[in-house]
Amino acid sequence: MLHGYKRVQTFYTLYNTGGVLSVTGDCVDMTLAEERRLREFLAKPPILLRNLSKEELSVFMTAVTHDSYSNELDQLNASRGLVSKSESYERLEFLGDAVLEFLVCERVFHNTEDTEGNMTLFKQDRVANAKISERVLNSGMDLDSVIRISKGTDIVENIRADCFEALVAAVYLTRGLDEVRRIVDDVILV
């Protein structure tokens, strides 16, 4: 049994009881090409996740879905007579932001003798959107290639950083804190 499986179940139960559709059902949520591209992305460094279940993959698909794209998806489903409320990465970003900040604080606390003020400066340097975006680009992970965003919307540093934080949450929910720590070490704390 995978670490965090129960949390993933609970995560989607909460969404479903809130009237939000998950990846399963009659609504268009992801194409086979998007699924393949996301699986390939997740299998490469620094993520290195393979053999994800459909349920786990749906968490990651949500993590790379900008609200502009989820709105377009809802309009597409409505044009087919289907009622849906597709999720964007915003809820996952909220959790991922907290997990990322915790891991950065944990690192600076355990690995330095810095004062509170210096630890705060270290944290701010690592978790500011501009710095996250820069480190994601420098890591070579090519996050931009899997971000689902509406036509005409550019991927700017805030979107890239928010999406990375959402991925942090997806890894946390599906694989646990140790896997997130490994990824954060490789991308943010290098």
Q: Is the pTM of this model over 0.75?
A: yes
Show the tokens assigned to 175: 């694989």
Residue appearing with tokens 């970003």: 93
What span, in angstroms and rounded, lies between the C-alpha atoms of 151 and 105?
37
The catalytic site residues sit at: 97, 165
Burial class (CB in 10 A: 0-12, 13-18, 19+), 68: middle
In a structure prediction context, what are the per-residue pLDDT tens digits for the chain, which is 190 residues long? 334 333 333 333 333 333 333 333 334 467 889 999 999 999 999 999 999 999 999 999 999 999 999 888 888 878 888 877 788 999 999 999 999 999 999 999 999 999 999 999 999 999 999 999 999 999 999 999 999 999 899 999 999 999 999 999 999 999 999 999 999 999 999 8
pLDDT of residue 74: 80
Q: How many CB atoms lie within 10 A of CB 123?
A: 17
5-187 under CATH 1.10.1520.10, yes or no: yes
